[in-house]
Amino acid sequence: MNATISRRKWMGQMTTLIASSALIAPGLVYGSGLPASPDLIKLSGNENPYGPSPKALEAIRKTLSTGNRYPFGEAELLHNQLAKQMNINSDQLLLGSGSSQLLQLLAHWIVLQKYPVTYASPTFDILPNQVKQLDGLVNEIKMSEDFQYDLDQIGERARKNPGIIYLVNPNNPTGIKTSSKALRSFCERASAHSHIIVDEAYIEYIGMQESLADMIRSNERIIIVRTFSKIYGLAGLRIGYLMAHPDTINKLKPLRIWNNDSLSIAGIAAARASLEDQNFVRESLEKNEMIRSSTIQSLRELDIQPYESNTNFIFFKIPGNKDLASLLKKHNMLVGQKKIDGENYARITIGTKEEMNTFINYITNIF
């Protein structure tokens, strides 16, 4: 009898868990579950199609023979190199296996502290979703119709529910940026009551002068999250980092099982070499900008109006509300798609010139 009850209870809990796990990326079809292959054109993950840089590849090759050893010493080298490059102290930095691991750590900390999270959608929502899954409190605000942050509304909501504000700049999936001046003055005001996490995954695409990272030196409540997955082309090698006040870093550290346990020597070697290869970054930026602008031009000729993009992807409302992701998948092409207020929007990562030509050919046939 007891066994039956507890089994039933367990089944109930599992059902809730499975139902809530569907929230992980509500509506956004990433399609990135498929392994990379030459037959697959993957315009769904906002990855850099040119990476890893040649220097990173060479560093990975050289380091593989030490794969039998734990990565702690190497992680420390990356930690110190990165702190120096970012001009911060090493106690203001935390490394993670991709920035998503750091967003997860933050989510766990947020729930333990019982902080409500205020954020505006549509955005990259794995942090608020993780908080929801852990029964934490989340205040979701809608962006304006043209997908701008309503900073006054966010500030007001957070003032009434002080805790955490999560902002992504430039934003994903829209590619729209918020001016660093507006964001900076918002952070100054809102940090009177809340911590502000600024996710700068795509900051390199608008230039480091737009970053708020310098604020962590004087403001204990600013947390910056960044990644090597985008401009550095290391998405599969899983390296991200977080910059914040040492007190915040010290609160997050114990939530990891082991110090820097989740980094691999290959990822560390690639990140270290990539930091030394700013030529690769420059070239990737140039190619992205050139191919992005020709893709936007071709889309406009088809009467498709992408939003202003400040990233390595473009975002537009799909004419006729078509299920573009499914149509392109039949051609082995993956793109992102999200339903907003009943309308389908596409998020297309800027691939190589050839990939984007193929994309435009398919799109021309579809519309």
Of the ranges 18-26, 83-91, 96-104, 286-294, which one interacts with ligand PLP (CB under 6 A)?
A: 96-104
**Which DSSP string corresponds to 220-264?**
TTEEEEEESSSTT--GGG--EEEE--HHHHHHHGGGSSSTTTT--
Is residue 312 part of the contact set for ligand PLP (CB under 6 A)?
no
Smallest distance from ligand PLP to CB 44, Å? 10
Strands 117-121 and 41-43: unpaired
Question: Could you say which of 227, 284, 344, 349 contacts ligand PLP (CB under 6 A)?
Answer: 227
Is residue 172 part of the contact set for ligand PLP (CB under 6 A)?
yes
| Residues 119-158: x where in contact with ligand PLP by CB under 6 A, - otherwise, as a string | -----x----------------------------------
Residues contacting ligand PLP: total by CB under 6 A: 13
Which residues, including other chains, have CB under 8 Å from residue 312's CB and lie 6 or more apart? 46, 48, 202, 205, 230, 231, 288, 292, 349, 350
Nearer to ligand PLP, 164 or 362 (CB): 164
Task: Tell me if residue 120 falls in helix, strand or coil.
Answer: strand
Task: Look up residue 3 and give its two tokens.
Answer: 């066994």
| Residues 173-212: x where in contact with ligand PLP by CB under 6 A, - otherwise, as a string | --------------------------x-x-----------
Nearer to ligand PLP, 143 or 362 (CB): 143
Rounded-to-integer distance, Cα 347 and Cα 311, Å: 11
Question: Residue 366 — φ and ψ, nearest 5°?
Answer: -70, -40
For residues 310 and 202, the answer to whether their CB atoms sit within 8 Å is yes
Smallest distance from ligand PLP to CB 121, Å? 13
Smallest distance from ligand PLP to CB 225, Å? 7
Question: Could you say which of 92, 99, 129, 349 contacts ligand PLP (CB under 6 A)?
Answer: 99
Give the closest residue to 162 by CA, choosing from 197, 115, 121, 112: 115
Smallest distance from ligand PLP to CB 303, Å? 28
146, exposed or middle or buried, with CB in 10 Å at 0-12, 13-18, 19+? exposed
Question: Could you say which of 56, 110, 168, 268 contacts ligand PLP (CB under 6 A)?
Answer: 168
Calculated CA dihedral for residues 346, 347, 350, 353, nearest 10 degrees: -10
Rounded-to-integer distance, Cα 287 and Cα 279, Å: 12
Smallest distance from ligand PLP to CB 275, Å? 15
Smallest distance from ligand PLP to CB 236, Å? 9
Give the interface with ligand PLP as residue ranges (CB under 6 A). Answer: 46, 98-100, 124, 168, 172, 199, 201, 227, 229, 235, 240
